[in-house]
Structure 1
Amino acid sequence: MIELNFDNVRVEGGYDIPWPSMHLVRQAFEAPVIGVKEIPKILEEQFKKEAISQKIKPGMKIAVGVGSRGITNLQEVVRCTVLELKKRGAIPFIVPAMGSHGGGLAEGQQQILADYGITEEQVGAPVRSSMDTVHLGKVNGEVDVYFDRIAYEEADGIIVVSRIKPHTDFKGRIESGFMKMLGIGLGKHKGASFLHRGGMLAFAQLVPEIGKFIMDKVPFLFGVGIIENAFHDTAHLEVVPKEELPKREEELLVKATNWMPKFHLQEIDVLIVDEIGKNISGSGMDPNIIGRSSSSEFFTFEQAPPIRRIVVLGITPESHGNSTGLGLADFTTVQTLSQVDFAAFYANTITAVEIGGGKLPLILKNDQQAIAAAIKTTRKRNLDDVRVVHIKNTLELNKIWVSSNLLDEVRQHPAMEILGDETTFNFDETGKLVR
């Protein structure tokens, strides 16, 4: 057990920095919305499509793959999916489709689903969690493909409930969605490890190839696709039959990319992030937003502004200590480090092969020290010129805090609006930022 003592850590010069005044700003985005009360009717209509309804036969045991991302209205989408399957006489059950998450343990994955409200009591179907897999064969003669044993051996049909969105560590026509959930999510820890072994650079080609390979090997029926808008609201729901994949997923990814949030600002010197987590992004904080990833040397995130320093002040409880993405920050705190479960953190990082997100940033005693250190290291001779932005997380960018020296840029942007008077940074007696 390593004990870290930060009592003697000091930011050179103390806190004698010009703490910037901050202003609350609204960022506007194109944002279609589906309310939670609309979900049952939409899915009812989707399941009536002949290409979907004809696949479901009375008495069929259907495995419903559900992942580990923090998806708005996930419980309701899964509940309605289960209900539509039961209406047609099927016998659905839930299987976790989350690769190595949950510490790579069956009980850890079941707990993640329970935290999202995915239990038999709440969605109407039992959850059957196991890390056992079957070997389906090889893709490209060298990539071993594994698949959830329960779904493969005990289901007459398999479906997945998946959010379609830009991936955090690779770019291609297919990124996060049905194909990735089939290959990595339902591949469990073993399958995810084999797929990641060659690194993320190969994923643009590998993910769709493995997805198509699996669809030919297992009784896959269809996917229930979710797209969210820039405010993390449900924006689109669609049930896509196997025969329309992967082409339809490519089209949905374009839609998802157009609707995702971003910073409208041109450049940021210090970004303060209250929380990172697996429920926020697969990388803890979305590289599409911050412009950094474990694979950044292979491609760029064109819509992200340059950011000199990132400070992370916490990890979401839903992450269960999996602090993947902490290594993308420059500074963090002792309090944040105390929230890390290194077993879960390293299991996810090593499985992903790209280890940059698993490294540790500079660790300061408290929020005040971490933010001060970030401001001091921006290479700005005049610290009054440091452009500071403060956000809750990379999912919630509709309201952000910006320093006064960014207000002219805000006023000139048609999709930005100043909402409140200026405020200052306030810290309690322990140096913790008072929100």
Structure 2
Amino acid sequence: MPTNSFDIRNFVPTIADGLQVDLPPMMPVRQGFPGEYVADIEAAVREQLARFSRLDLQGKQIAITAGSRGIKVMVEVLRAIVAELRTMGAEPFLVPAMGSHGSGTAPGQIAVLEKLGVTEAAIGAPVRSSMDVVELGTIENGTRVYCDKLAFQSDGIVVCNRIKAHTAFTGDYESGLVKMMVIGLGKHTGATALHQLGFDHFEHAIPAAGEVVLANAPILFGVGVVENAYGKMAAIEGIAPDRIMERERDLLVYSKAIMGRIQLDDIDVLIVDEIGKDVSGGGMDPNVTGRSALGLAIADTPSIQRIIVRDLTEATAGSSMGLGMADFTTKRCVEKINLAVTYTNALTALVLLPPKIPMICESDQAALAFALRTARIQHADGARIVRIKNTKDLEEIWVSEAYRTDLAGRDDMRVLEDAQPMRFDDAGNIF
């Protein structure tokens, strides 16, 4: 029986040549976001942990969680926590708290931390990694809740994590201490159990499972970190176990208020230079684009007609998670996709939209032609186009001339130079 092969790397739409459009000039703009930050991280950690100074930790083995996300200040925060625990007489150690990340193996999770700079030499405490877990109980629907065995058998667990909006679901508890207790410390077994429910159930399942952990695991206290739009630490708080649920909810509201975003309402075409797991867990943050992994609308985001993704980051190692939320991409981007890595991520998270591949174009110029022809606009040269590096670095962006009136008199967005024509190389890619 004959077989037909389809080489996606050599498949490129050829009709783009007939889609010549007049592109509007673009101007660089600097966005301003709330910039408060903690200058002395060590002093801030010392101040926050002072509220637990009455705890008897002499000779106690204390586990500290270390996650898999590249948080800029986390090495400094963990190092300061270790130092303070030692002054209290404790013997701290780190446990990877990252669910199934690192290929779901103990050595793999240590390797993830090493890439983030979280090592014994850098932090001042040993890293102990195991995938063994202890069952703590169940939530109402019968889903089992687990905890890392090494952490559970310690004399106390310090849960440390950044609190921020999640990329796949919304609720009172998204990325933060509660999710780290439930999925991070749950290791592969716990993460799989929760993910089987699907992200649409996380709004209720995460806090319910969090209560199970707080009731049955030796949680000593939490350390919640909030970053501003510039990647600096805006706040850090030491939180007693009985206040974690309350305080995380409040800190998430604060985090969302100061996060980076595109501060424009209506966008015809958004050009994203790169996506990747190192940018956002979802490749590109739906809290910026408004397009979630479940296809649901995200509040307080711009209305965007068409999204173009130009490329993958090098650090994403071929994972194209998030590409499915775009409308167009380039041949250059598709050639970098590692389907094995991408599909593994998708199947673990039980999401099917993020790994999909949108329409493939020969070049950036062709992608823009497709996007502008399919967007609901009368004249392409008056289109409202925004170009960003990625969904994390949003301080400097490019916007089309059509936004000039919108920007007049705004303190939070400043035009840096006069508008200039978009420039392409011989291959049709943006300079």
Q: TM-score scaled to structure 2, two decimals?
A: 0.92
Name the SS for the 2:235 alignment partner. strand
Counterparts of 2:237 and 2:108, CA distance in 1: 29
Counterparts of 1:97 and 1:103, CA distance in 2: 13
Identify which range, 92-101 or 128-137, moves more after superposition.
Answer: 128-137
The yes-or-no answer on 1:112 pairing with 2:112 is: yes
Match of 2:45 among 34, 43, 49: 43
Matched-pair contact (CA < 8 Å) for 1:98–1:184: yes
Name the SS for the 1:276 alignment partner. coil
Match of 2:281 in 1: 282
The yes-or-no answer on 1:4 pairing with 2:1 is: no
- How do 1:10-409 residues align onto structure 2 when only pairs under 5 Å count? 10-14=14-18, 16-35=20-39, 38-49=40-51, 52-55=52-55, 57-153=57-153, 155-297=154-296, 300-409=297-406
Matched-pair contact (CA < 8 Å) for 2:24–2:400: yes
- Deviations 1:141-188 (Å, cap 9, x if unpaired)? 4112122233224x2221222111122222222222110111111222
Matched-pair contact (CA < 8 Å) for 2:319–2:341: yes
Matched-pair contact (CA < 8 Å) for 2:319–2:339: yes
Matched-pair contact (CA < 8 Å) for 2:366–2:428: yes
Name the CA shift for 1:43/1:171 in 2 (closer, same or farther; >3 Å).
same
Name the SS for the 2:41 alignment partner. helix
Structure 1 residue 210, shift from structure 2 partner: 0.7
Structure 1 residue 316, shift from structure 2 partner: 3.0
Name the SS for the 1:348 alignment partner. helix
Identify which range, 409-418 or 392-401, moves more after superposition.
Answer: 409-418
Name the SS for the 2:164 alignment partner. coil
Matched-pair contact (CA < 8 Å) for 2:266–2:303: yes
Matched-pair contact (CA < 8 Å) for 1:71–1:279: no
Structure 1 residue 411, shift from structure 2 partner: 1.5
Q: How much identity, in percent, do the aligned residues show?
A: 42
What is the identity, as a one-letter code, of the residue corresponding to 1:230?
A
Identify which range, 114-123 or 101-110, moves more after superposition.
Answer: 101-110
Name the CA shift for 1:346/1:5 in 2 (closer, same or farther; >3 Å).
closer
Counterparts of 1:318 and 1:156, CA distance in 2: 37
Matched-pair contact (CA < 8 Å) for 2:24–2:380: no
Name the CA shift for 1:197/1:338 in 2 (closer, same or farther; >3 Å).
same
Structure 1 residue 364, shift from structure 2 partner: 2.6
Matched-pair contact (CA < 8 Å) for 2:288–2:391: yes
What is the identity, as a one-letter code, of the residue corresponding to 1:17?
V
Counterparts of 1:339 and 1:82, CA distance in 2: 40
Counterparts of 1:240 and 1:359, CA distance in 2: 40
Structure 1 residue 343, shift from structure 2 partner: 3.4
Structure 1 residue 260, shift from structure 2 partner: 1.5
Identify which range, 93-102 or 12-21, moves more after superposition.
Answer: 12-21
Matched-pair contact (CA < 8 Å) for 1:103–1:345: no
What is the identity, as a one-letter code, of the residue corresponding to 1:47?
L
Counterparts of 1:338 and 1:74, CA distance in 2: 34
- Deviations 1:317-352 (Å, cap 9, x if unpaired)? 443433321211112223323433333322332222
Matched-pair contact (CA < 8 Å) for 1:68–1:113: yes
**Count of matched residue positions in the alignment of Structure 1 and Structure 2:** 427
What is the identity, as a one-letter code, of the residue corresponding to 1:12?
A
Matched-pair contact (CA < 8 Å) for 1:56–1:85: no
What is the identity, as a one-letter code, of the residue corresponding to 1:31?
G
Name the SS for the 1:208 alignment partner. helix
Matched-pair contact (CA < 8 Å) for 1:102–1:344: no
Counterparts of 2:201 and 2:160, CA distance in 1: 25
Name the CA shift for 1:170/1:223 in 2 (closer, same or farther; >3 Å).
same
Structure 1 residue 91, shift from structure 2 partner: 2.1
Matched-pair contact (CA < 8 Å) for 1:18–1:383: yes
Counterparts of 2:322 and 2:173, CA distance in 1: 22
Structure 1 residue 11, shift from structure 2 partner: 4.2
Counterparts of 2:420 and 2:111, CA distance in 1: 40
Identify which range, 87-96 or 225-234, moves more after superposition.
Answer: 87-96
Structure 1 residue 132, shift from structure 2 partner: 3.2
Name the CA shift for 1:11/1:26 in 2 (closer, same or farther; >3 Å).
farther
Name the CA shift for 1:368/1:68 in 2 (closer, same or farther; >3 Å).
farther
Match of 1:419 among 416, 419, 428: 416
Q: TM-score scaled to structure 1, two decimals?
A: 0.91
What is the identity, as a one-letter code, of the residue corresponding to 2:27?
H
Name the CA shift for 1:7/1:425 in 2 (closer, same or farther; >3 Å).
farther
Name the SS for the 1:68 alignment partner. coil
Structure 1 residue 2, shift from structure 2 partner: 7.2
Name the CA shift for 1:345/1:108 in 2 (closer, same or farther; >3 Å).
farther
- Deviations 1:253-302 (Å, cap 9, x if unpaired)? 121121122222120111111222233222222111111102243xx322
What is the identity, as a one-letter code, of the residue corresponding to 1:93?
F
Structure 1 residue 85, shift from structure 2 partner: 1.7
Matched-pair contact (CA < 8 Å) for 1:263–1:397: yes
